[in-house]
Structure 1
Amino acid sequence: MSCAPCEGGGDEACATCGKLGSDAVKLKNCNACRLVKYCGVDCQRAHRKLHRKACKQRMAELKDEQLYSQGHERPEGDFCPICTLPIPLPMEKHSVFMTCCLKQICRGCHVAALKRGMFDCAFCRTPTPIAGNDADVLTTFQTRVAKKDPQAILYLGRAYYHGTFGLQKDTRRAFQLYTEAAELGSVDALFSLGNAYEDGVVVGQDMAKAAEFWTKAAMQGHVPARANLGWLEGQKGNHDRAARHFLISAKMGHKRSLETIKNCSWQGLQPKSSTRRH
């Protein structure tokens, strides 16, 4: 038996018995690697021990193909809703967060609106809340949280994590909210969960789990998550894999990744060197 289809049958022969596919014999691919086909469960079981190594290798290759081919475009939330241009990284430095509509508006649009005498939210036109009025902000968050808005759940989690908007710091509650937001589709929440596992503050440090969440975020275009994967691979001595991650994040505007590539200094860098948002 071989992990390659039997000779004479090409791709349409059972890898175990060599039986050719026909109207009477329906061949099915190995669901994991899709390298070989089988005429039935018995043949697949008989071939499993011989096929296991090649199957695992191909599974890893397919996983890498997905990892490095996906997430080359930034997610919708990284674009200013006014000018529709991508907000430069780090976004916290180049944007203003509007608590009324939970949008991040680039500083250029924000300043332009102020110069025109527009002091309300440039996106939803809600009057700017009075500084220090945390109760109104929390009410907005809670209203949207009740409607299962992932962005609101994420920001409420950040408020608990940092103890802002009048809330007492509660990292465990923040972790729960990040998890809920991630389940509802928040890419930033995936990144924050990865950071939580890397920090080990709320849950025990688990770099495998951190990498898992960063990978999910990176494959959806989250740039700092992609950079973190690069530094993580660099720590392991996998410089080729690290460079591939850095090339992707650098092309997407991550300056630290670009500097890392230029200086060839990814070895030994910590994932926390990346700009992060909990």
Structure 2
Amino acid sequence: MAGSTDVVAALRAAGCVFAEDEARLLTAAAAETGADLDALVAQRVCGTPLEHLLGWAEFHGLRVTVAPGVFVPRQRSAFLVEAAAELARTRERHPVVVDLCCGSGALGLGLATMLAAEHIQVTLAAADIDPVAVDCARRNLTPLGAPVYQGDLFEPLPEELRGCIDILLANTPYVPSEMIARMPPEARDYEPRTALDGGPDGLDIFRRVAEGARNWLAPGGHLLVESSEAQASVAIAVLAEHGLTGRVAESEELNATVVIGTRPAR
């Protein structure tokens, strides 16, 4: 391509809303890594997520490493991190945090970094069923000394965490199966379906997390899960079935809904 104007034009023609910003980022990535700019632009035009091409995503003020085949953290999930931080500050000891269904580990990384800036240290662990996601999360979380386990939900967690988790982040997939086909191609075609598909009503994985959460949470500990606004009332009922007191937190600014389940303190 002749220059930045051509890159912007190609991206705009492909429907990229922030073509100028993406052109700047792709150009910088090509210069930093030695990658071919034309090849990067061609991949982006074909729908490859920008973050997969850059190798990172901006989340909660951090650069989070992402890789092809890994779920890209959404900006609305910053509200989940903020809600978790508010609850973590109320714990009488340094909180134990687990990022379940962690993907890149962005939620755990964001929460631990935010609290560290307030001189609140956390014991952090993460887990995911996808080996590609686990590898990516380890690149983000190993510098914090946080282990990342591979396996299905709670199964790979060490037994010493049982009954000790103060903050359980679980950004479970919550898109109803029939809605996957309507998602943007960059999500539908490039992110793992296991990170998107929540079953018929979008809450299949959430139900499994809710079922196991009480045994893993410390007394007074909290489970935080992102959902749609329409799913929240059903999610609250599911939490109640499993002995957790539920409430809903919402951010109009980020268009985010978080369902919070709390284990009774006694």
Where on the TM-score scale, by shorter chain, does this alignment land: which range?
under 0.3
Q: Which has the larger radius of gyration?
A: 1
Scaled by the length of structure 2, what TM-score is found? 0.27
Higher RCO by CA contacts (8 Å cutoff, separation 6 or greater): 2
Q: Which has the higher strand share?
A: 2
**TM-score (normalised: structure 1):** 0.26
Q: Which is helix-richer, 1 or 2? A: 1
